[in-house]
Structure 1
Amino acid sequence: MQTQTLLCFSKILVVCVSLCTVTQLSSLHFHSHRREVHVRSFISNLSIPKMANVSVAAEWQLLYNRYYRKPELYPMKWKHVDLARNKVAAAPFGGPLAVIRDDSKIVQLHAESALRKLRLFSSSGHLLADTVWRHPGGRLVGMSWTDDQTLICVVQDGTVYRYDIHANLIEPNLSLGKECFEHNVADCAFWGNGLVCITEAYQLFCIADFKNPTAVKLADPGIDDMPHCMAVIEPQYTVSGNVEVLLGVDDAVVLIVEEDGVQRIGEDLLRGPLQKMVVSRDGKWLASFTHDGKLLVTTSDLTGVIIERECESALPPEQLAWCGMDAVLLYWDDMLLMMGPDGDPVHYLYDEPIILIPECDGVRILSNTSMEFLQRVPDSTVSIFTIGSTSPAALLYDALDHFDRRSAKADENLRLIRSSLPEAVEACVDATGHEFDISRQRTLLRAASYGQAFCSNFQRDRIQEMCKILRVLNAVRSPEIGIPLSIQQYKLLTPSVLIGRLINAHQHLLALRISEYLGMNQEVVIMHWACSKITASLTIPDAALLEILLDKLKLCKGISYAAVAAHADKNGRRKLAALLVEHEPRSSKQVPLLLSIGEEDIALMKATECGDTDLVYLVLFHIWQKRQPLEFFATIQVRPLARDLFVTYGRCYKHEFLKDYFLSTGQLQDVAFLLWKESWELGKNPMASKGSPLHGPRIKLVEKAQSLFAETKEHMFESKAAEEHAKLLRIQHELEVTTKQAIFVDSSLSDTIRTCIVLGNHRAAMRVKTEFKVSEKRWYWLKVFALATIKDWVALEKFSKEKKPPIGYRPFVEACIEADEKGEAIKYIPKLADPRERAESYARIGMAKEAADAASQAKDGELLGRLKLTFAQNAAASTLFDTLRDRLSFQGAS
């Protein structure tokens, strides 16, 4: 037992140290404010929490069967702020406060200026920023904060002004439309990222999302008087997905106005007009104040009544708000009334005006001097601190007290709750998360750690996780930061959003510490700090500011120096941007920024060094547009990769520009090749196949290419080929003109001669032969097959007799056989000098005997074998070939 006790003591010590580091993280001290009241002491035979428990529970108020507490979060730091004389907008999740003098009230100015100021405060009353209100357009109708903490201000003429948390006006200003300008805005209602307004002509207009700020007119409600009250059901809770506006009108009815129509509800339920109404956070319930002084809680579609209770005043309350989902608050001049489903209401008296700020788990109450938080006491806290509680958690908490006083009752308490010890430890941990007082947090965590030492099946990291959350919460709750988040709000908001709000408020150091502590990416924080530092340090020299920035930027590996450099360039510090971008390791981010700040040569060098062709092309196109051609050519000439990529692109798309480049560098043969390619591309034009004048430019292109080739000895072949190509194109063009048939251009020399013979234009064919010095053998081959193609057998025979053909008679035989004219082929087969050729030719036209005779003259046994296979279906022919082969074999043997 002594060993367990020592172990328990060591764990408690660890918890105390962990919570001490909370104050080290935030470097802040909390103000604890509690009212001490006299209560009856209750002591039984069982060990129960003593005076500390009694003191805690004495501050609670019982509403039917649920406890509520109202701890003070901050005494307000501001001075001379009277809520009765000002309009106030408070952001949820412990967000900032916007305060501006109410121009609809006649107020006495003491020492303040006659100029109206818009002032922004933290929840602790610390001034964040202020600005003079200089906007015309009539009185300020309403203002509210969006989810991203942008302040929305709506003035009478329908203009919407937006401010950031530093009171900087966000341009451009928005307008609710012409009708709002003409008829004036009378009232407005806000939700997360949208607003609805009603004009003095009783028409409704809506901006559903300020990220896409388009004003839309809703359906005409068809009313002749201003409604008594207005509420909004957010789009995320409606069936249609569009905002629904509830209007309380003179009749015993509520109008639901949407973009597509108007619906009347509550006719069977209401007995008179509603004076005030507010929709619950989840859009399911509607709390309203009736004309006869009752609080009415119904479903949002007014089909069922949940609560209907008499209030203590028939006058409508100044404010009506939900406190979580269990109670409704009504505020009159000096009294705040909290009502639930049953039981007597709870009264809170105030001698100063207050503002109710609904949160997801309660209501913040802002007065001239303090900020309080009214919430339902969590069940875990109730189980520990309720007067007379004998729950396991209460006994565990009391056991710690006895342990600290070295009393044996500590062991007795643990024995009593041994079976329920895990639940008791969990209750202490959970109650810790809901506490705002650091000393009470520490005590509860010590109790949980004490119980955990004797509990083997409890999650060991649960206490450590709660310590992490509390360190963050205590840091942001400090008066200097002024974000009084509860643990439920923190979980709903998420740490990443909290860090985003801290950096927007320029609390970069705290945001960085929290990010590091929670293991989150610190890049966002450091990037925002760097950009803010550049904006605010206009007088610091570039070199000095660079050292400051690099000292922090190097803390985060992989951070985008290019993004910071871009911000510097945007703020007119181009030299600083150039220095920063040198530290960017990723070329994909470095190169575009170098181009934007005018460092094209460095950008080209970086792009070529990394070998990314896309980046090289990006730089090339950028320089191409900005520089003169000769300057551009000189730039790329010294960089082989850039030059080669430009040439590749130019060959496909920019021939003229590429020709200028080749000419500037003396590469005449490359210009010639481009010209030759252009002539072929021009030939693909459909109009060029109609004997059109397009052939003229083609020929000129080829001739120009020929002249360029001729200037270099290494390209004499290309020069000669281009010369002959131009000559052939010219002849083909003339043939198309004379024959009126577009069949010559772009055909080969052989095809041109063949086509002329087929058309019977032998003179033209002879001219082409002579012009291009076609050899006799080639001429004979072309003419033989051309005559066979048109089956001019007479001309073919005549041609064969003009002189001994230089190609022999085999082409004549081939041409006749291919034309399936065996009779014509027989005329030329006997003229074949080689008996093997005669034998094969006879075999092709099916003359077996003649083939056999010719084969026997050749004395070729292998040929006889092949011929036998040719006539395999002819038995007599096969026998003949066998006989001849046997005879040939016998003669060879003898």
Structure 2
Amino acid sequence: MASVSVAAEWQQLYDRYYRKPELYQLRWNHVDLSRNKVACAPFGGPIAAIRDDSKIVQLRSESALRKLRIFTSAGAQISETVWKNPGGRLIGMSWTEDQTLICITQDGTVYRYNLHAQLIEPNLSMGKECFENSVVECVFWGNGVVCVNEAFQVFCISDFKNPRAVRMAETGIEDFPLCVAVIEPQYTMSGNVEVLLGVGDHVLLVEEDGVQQVGAGVGPLQKMVVSRNGRYLASFTHDGRLLVMSTDFSNIIFEYNCESALPPEQLSWCGMDSVLLYWDDMLLMVGPFGEPVRYLYDEPIILIPECDGVRILSNTSMEFLHRVPDSTVSIFRIGSTQPAALLYDALDHFDRRSAKADENLRLIRSSLPEAVEACIDAAGHEFDISRQRTLLRAASYGQAFCSHFQRDRIQEMSKTLRVLNAVRNQEIGVPLSIQQYKLLTPSVLIGRLINAQQHLVALRISEYLGLNQEVVIMHWACSKITASLAIPDVSLLEILLDKLKLCKGISYATVAAHADKTGRRKLAAMLIEHEPRSSKQVPLLLSIGEEDTALTKAIECGDTDLARPLGRDLFISYARCYKHEFLKDFFLSTGQLQEVAFLLWKESWEVAKNPMASKGSPLHGPRIKLIEKAQSLFSETKEHVFESKAAEEHAKLLRMQHELEVSTKQAIFVDSSISDTIRTCIVLGNHRAAVKVKTEFKVTEKRWYWLKVFALATIRDWDALEKFSKEKRPPIGYRPFVEACVDADERGEALKYIPKLADPRERAEAYARIGMAKEAADAASQAKDGELLGRLKLTFAQNAAASSIFDTLRDRLSFQGVS
């Protein structure tokens, strides 16, 4: 009966199941999402809300002052502040990866807040053009943002850690785009952000250095959103269709008629398997096959995309809509006779002392390890603690009858679930799934907990996982000092020492420096007394004006240089800027040979900056000699074996590159990498030089083959490429040969190598890339891979005849019991 009640919570979308457990009943009061601008951080992060000034609302009992409020995902308020930023209407708000809240106003000012609603100075700006022509729309991703202003100009900050606003290429449009989406830099060929603007019946792809028209005839598009992996674009058309396309617009993956031309308020991916559309009372989940699933809501909701699903925030609750994992389906699907389901049942019979437990185990004896693994995996995906416990008990019961199974798997999963359950607790309010936790990593989670002042749970998790507790205790100590201005120094010192002693080797000096920074010099001096390392004690004592104590400490430890470092440091700083010869003499006199070597190496780069140091310039001679001198000095010390070898190799490479520039009369070799040198030689037709570089620098056969294949493809020397493929069996296989030909749009050349691909899956995908549906289908059926057939069918979605080939083969595989 348990499996019936579990599966009853699911919804079926074609051959997949989805569930939507409630994570929290929210603890906030009177927060109406329809009257607020809201930003929700992924990975179960915080929620920021501020009254939407673009809507006329009745204030009721609220203050006329607008407040920025920050909550946990469980709706518990963390902090608030009065919103008094003068930059006009708030246009966009989002959280960065380090949980900094970014707020962008109409005049292009960027305000940043931490989790405690404290403004981070200085404010940033999207630029003069955004000040003069108001910002109308913002699209955020990870650590960046794209803004479009009233003059239809596009601006981008690609990383708030290095916040430089860049103006993208001129769009030339005369009306505001219908919708905007962004392809993140990590998924583009150029490595720079690409902006998609829905304009008329097509899409404009805007980059920093150009604009191109793509997707002609797909529009007008009312909404667009790019998938998490940057490969697909979900869009809503003017005539009410959901279109899912590849982001290069080469093919339409699927389309669905929504029977309403009214664009949805929100459009979002749910993992990689389905797309969500939300209108004011209905959430529609659409997949590539089958009828969509409808969820009705009588209150506003906000969709929060996660790596494995979507969290759904309403006025009263937080839910998590996601695909039911295969392991969970195998156990709880109604009528399931999978080994994991029989093992789960066996535990139930065992608990009721029924002989059927033994009968179940006998039925699945050969598949017992897989059944145990499925129960462990399903436990990891559960939010319900009692269900986690039952699944792990089933796994433990089955493991007792397994001779070959990793004994620590259950222990590992129990450990992970204890951490997850601790942070999911309503008091903490971080509802991570197991995939999110693995992607985030425990150390980042601990960083987020201490940032939210959840030091105790962060400390317990660090201790439980065997991680360094120093980070947590240090942060707690500094926070305690900041928050305890009313506590006398002596009392506060006692509180601090009680916790600091928990961690051996902790830096008391760092805590003391923080105390000094907050104006508590006496507390700082008392804390320094407990720092065992003089090298840390002395500089801090000097900085807080305790020169005599510093000198005493320095003399006690026998290092007088600690107390009088200023003159020496000033001399080194001056000489580093102006008098390298003096500095070299100083380092030689003190036996610091490696420092002299670094100076010589730096000088070699200064020579390289000379505009005359090119085209076979004689300046390369002195430069190489400097590097060789540095190599000789590095070799004198055991600690700099790496630098010595690097300098030797660098000098040797520069000599070869210099000779190549002289012989080819082309200044294109010096300071390029070994790979680039080989590639350039092949492109220029100088194969003897390429082989010489390969031999000199012991380039592996695999790397050599990669470089030569793509270099020959670059100059389109297909005969040479074919000859190269026949010299011997390529150590990298034939796949790179295929890729090089396909990339160069040489279908006929690719066909020379595709039949040589050993793996039928690779053969199938290669044939699909050059549009040969029947051959792709034959290869995929050889692989007996139904999932691959389904994926390849999507590639030929617009070709009915090709699609039917894949369906026929897939049905045949299903009939044969192959999935």
Same fold by TM-score greater than 0.5: yes
Q: Which amino acid aligns with 2:41?
A: A
Tell me the secondary structure at the aligned position of residue 247 of structure 1: strand
Give the equivalent residue in structure 2 for 1:357. 304
Give the equivalent residue in structure 2 for 1:93. 43
Q: Deviations over 1:723-744 (max 9, x none)?
A: xxxxxxxxxxxxxxxxxxxxxx
Give the equivalent residue in structure 1 for 2:86. 136
Instruction: Structure 1: give runs of 5+ residues left out of the alignment.
Output: 1-50, 625-647, 654-894
- Distance in 2 of aligned mates of 1:216 and 1:103: 28
Give the equivalent residue in structure 2 for 1:175. 125
Report the CA distance between 1:613 and its aligned residue: 5.4
Structure 1 residues 587 and 620: CA distance shift in structure 2, 3 A: farther
Q: Given the alignment of the two structures, is residue 72 of structure 1 paired with residue 22 of structure 2, yes or no?
A: yes
- Distance in 1 of aligned mates of 2:259 and 2:530: 70
Equivalences for 1:227-242 in 2 at 5 Å?
Answer: 227-242=177-192
Give the equivalent residue in structure 2 for 1:374. 321
1:527 to 467, 470, 474: 474
Q: Which amino acid aligns with 1:413?
A: N
Report the CA distance between 1:422 and its aligned residue: 0.3
Q: Given the alignment of the two structures, is residue 418 of structure 1 paired with residue 365 of structure 2, yes or no?
A: yes
Report the CA distance between 1:610 and its aligned residue: 2.2
Q: Given the alignment of the two structures, is residue 571 of structure 1 paired with residue 518 of structure 2, yes or no?
A: yes
Q: Which amino acid aligns with 1:206?
A: C
Tell me the secondary structure at the aligned position of residue 49 of structure 2: strand
CA contact under 8 A between 1:600 and 1:623: conserved in structure 2?
Answer: no
- Distance in 2 of aligned mates of 1:186 and 1:146: 21
2:214 to 249, 256, 265: 265
Give the equivalent residue in structure 2 for 1:399. 346
Report the CA distance between 1:264 and its aligned residue: 0.8
Tell me the secondary structure at the aligned position of residue 489 of structure 1: helix
- Distance in 2 of aligned mates of 1:611 and 1:230: 66
Report the CA distance between 1:616 and its aligned residue: 3.8
Give the equivalent residue in structure 2 for 1:771. none
Q: Deviations over 1:804-861 (max 9, x none)?
A: xxxxxxxxxxxxxxxxxxxxxxxxxxxxxxxxxxxxxxxxxxxxxxxxxxxxxxxxxx
Give the equivalent residue in structure 1 for 2:426. 479
Give the equivalent residue in structure 2 for 1:102. 52
- Distance in 1 of aligned mates of 2:121 and 2:553: 37
Give the equivalent residue in structure 1 for 2:557. 610
Give the equivalent residue in structure 1 for 2:437. 490
Q: Given the alignment of the two structures, is residue 164 of structure 1 paired with residue 114 of structure 2, yes or no?
A: yes
Give the equivalent residue in structure 1 for 2:456. 509
Structure 1 residues 179 and 84: CA distance shift in structure 2, 3 A: same
Report the CA distance between 1:325 and its aligned residue: 0.1
Give the equivalent residue in structure 1 for 2:618. none
Q: Which amino acid aligns with 1:389?
A: S
Tell me the secondary structure at the aligned position of residue 318 of structure 2: strand
Give the equivalent residue in structure 1 for 2:500. 553
Q: Given the alignment of the two structures, is residue 60 of structure 1 paired with residue 10 of structure 2, yes or no?
A: yes
Q: Which amino acid aligns with 2:409?
A: R
Tell me the secondary structure at the aligned position of residue 295 of structure 2: strand
- Distance in 2 of aligned mates of 1:335 and 1:119: 28
Greater shift in the superposed pair: 172-181 or 507-516 = 172-181
CA contact under 8 A between 1:433 and 1:466: conserved in structure 2?
Answer: yes
Q: Given the alignment of the two structures, is residue 155 of structure 1 paired with residue 102 of structure 2, yes or no?
A: no
Give the equivalent residue in structure 2 for 1:335. 282
In our comparison, the structure showing a higher alpha carbon Rg is 1
CA contact under 8 A between 1:595 and 1:619: conserved in structure 2?
Answer: no
1:344 to 276, 291, 294: 291
2:239 to 292, 296, 302: 292
CA contact under 8 A between 1:228 and 1:274: conserved in structure 2?
Answer: yes
- Distance in 2 of aligned mates of 1:146 and 1:196: 14
- Distance in 2 of aligned mates of 1:212 and 1:80: 38
CA contact under 8 A between 1:120 and 1:128: conserved in structure 2?
Answer: yes
Q: Which amino acid aligns with 1:262?
A: V
1:111 to 52, 55, 61: 61
- Distance in 2 of aligned mates of 1:581 and 1:277: 58
Structure 1 residues 229 and 543: CA distance shift in structure 2, 3 A: same
CA contact under 8 A between 1:603 and 1:619: conserved in structure 2?
Answer: no
Q: Which amino acid aligns with 2:532?
A: P
- Distance in 2 of aligned mates of 1:211 and 1:497: 17
CA contact under 8 A between 1:604 and 1:620: conserved in structure 2?
Answer: no
Give the equivalent residue in structure 2 for 1:32. none
- Distance in 2 of aligned mates of 1:379 and 1:178: 53
Equivalences for 1:706-855 in 2 at 5 Å?
Answer: none
CA contact under 8 A between 1:219 and 1:262: conserved in structure 2?
Answer: yes
Q: Which amino acid aligns with 1:189?
A: V
- Distance in 1 of aligned mates of 2:378 and 2:569: 63
Tell me the secondary structure at the aligned position of residue 485 of structure 1: coil
Report the CA distance between 1:612 and its aligned residue: 3.4
Report the CA distance between 1:614 and its aligned residue: 4.4
Q: Which amino acid aligns with 1:323?
A: C
Q: Given the alignment of the two structures, is residue 536 of structure 1 paired with residue 536 of structure 2, yes or no?
A: no
Give the equivalent residue in structure 2 for 1:83. 33
Give the equivalent residue in structure 2 for 1:600. 547
Report the CA distance between 1:193 and its aligned residue: 0.6
TM-score normalised over the length of structure 1: 0.63
Q: Given the alignment of the two structures, is residue 442 of structure 1 paired with residue 389 of structure 2, yes or no?
A: yes
- Distance in 2 of aligned mates of 1:202 and 1:605: 67
Give the equivalent residue in structure 2 for 1:37. none
Give the count of matched residue pairs: 575
Give the equivalent residue in structure 1 for 2:163. 213
Report the CA distance between 1:619 and its aligned residue: 5.8
- Distance in 2 of aligned mates of 1:396 and 1:312: 45
Tell me the secondary structure at the aligned position of residue 441 of structure 1: helix
Q: Which amino acid aligns with 1:142?
A: G
Give the equivalent residue in structure 2 for 1:203. 153
Q: Which amino acid aligns with 1:174?
A: L
CA contact under 8 A between 1:522 and 1:556: conserved in structure 2?
Answer: yes
CA contact under 8 A between 1:143 and 1:152: conserved in structure 2?
Answer: yes
- Distance in 2 of aligned mates of 1:568 and 1:150: 25
Give the equivalent residue in structure 1 for 2:253. 306
- Distance in 1 of aligned mates of 2:568 and 2:361: 79
Report the CA distance between 1:544 and its aligned residue: 0.5
Give the equivalent residue in structure 1 for 2:687. none
Greater shift in the superposed pair: 190-199 or 611-620 = 611-620
Q: Which amino acid aligns with 1:541?
A: P
CA contact under 8 A between 2:538 and 2:563: conserved in structure 1?
Answer: no
Q: Which amino acid aligns with 2:276?
A: L
Report the CA distance between 1:199 and its aligned residue: 0.5
CA contact under 8 A between 2:28 and 2:77: conserved in structure 1?
Answer: yes
Tell me the secondary structure at the aligned position of residue 357 of structure 2: helix
Structure 1 residues 614 and 456: CA distance shift in structure 2, 3 A: farther
Q: Deviations over 1:212-264 (max 9, x none)?
A: 111111111111111010011111111111111100012x1111111111111
CA contact under 8 A between 2:551 and 2:560: conserved in structure 1?
Answer: no
Report the CA distance between 1:328 and its aligned residue: 0.1
Equivalences for 1:879-894 in 2 at 5 Å?
Answer: none
CA contact under 8 A between 1:235 and 1:243: conserved in structure 2?
Answer: yes
CA contact under 8 A between 1:604 and 1:619: conserved in structure 2?
Answer: no
Tell me the secondary structure at the aligned position of residue 344 of structure 1: coil
Q: Which amino acid aligns with 1:515?
A: S
Report the CA distance between 1:315 and its aligned residue: 0.5
Report the CA distance between 1:326 and its aligned residue: 0.3
Report the CA distance between 1:303 and its aligned residue: 1.0
CA contact under 8 A between 1:425 and 1:449: conserved in structure 2?
Answer: yes
- Distance in 2 of aligned mates of 1:545 and 1:263: 63
TM-score normalised over the length of structure 2: 0.69
